[in-house]
Amino acid sequence: MSLGPLEFVVLAFPGEGLATGVQTALERVTKAGDLRVVDALVVTKHGDGAASAAELADVDELRAVQAAYQLSDLDTVGLIATDDVDEVAALLKPGTTAMAILVEHVWARQLADSVAAAGGELVASAHIPRAHADEAVRTRASQDATA
């Protein structure tokens, strides 16, 4: 299986908003066209700090969403590993539940394939966190102002 670069997104929703939030997120991603949800997992940080993970199909309020997007039928289900669960849980406040979605950048995979077909090479591809991008824009804006 050739899998393109992936984005690991962790989404937290308050209390009762998990099902609606997950629905919204999956809808947005699948509508994008050049993105594909390849795995999803519910991560909970318990009050005592322990972490646990659950498949969407095993969470009552998410079963319908899970079925709608056929997430259990994906041949990529299972990519998010237990170590990843621990890392996600470390970000969460105790007593919160979040969803981790693994999204494939289909456009980037296709780009790499096209480039390779043209005899070229994708030399590098890196994710620039939004915080870095924001800072670069702010810095440039202040440089423009003083120019």
Show the beta-strand stretches assigned E in 27-95.
35-45, 51-54
Scanning 17-25, 27-35, 66-74, 109-117 for contacts with other proteins by CB under 8 A, the matching segment is: 66-74
* 39 and 78 Cβ atoms separated by less than 8 Å: yes
Tokens coding 36: 């594909």
Rounded least distance, CB 48 to other proteins, Å: 21
Element (H, E) at 7: strand 6-12
Residues 117-146 that bind other proteins (CB under 8 A): 124-132, 136, 139
Edge-to-edge strands of the sheet including 51-54? 6-12, 96-105, 35-45, 51-54
Rounded least distance, CB 45 to other proteins, Å: 13
What does the binding site for other proteins look like in residue numbers (CB under 8 A)?
6, 8, 10, 12, 41, 53, 55, 57, 66-67, 70, 72-73, 77-85, 87-88, 90-91, 102, 124-132, 136, 139
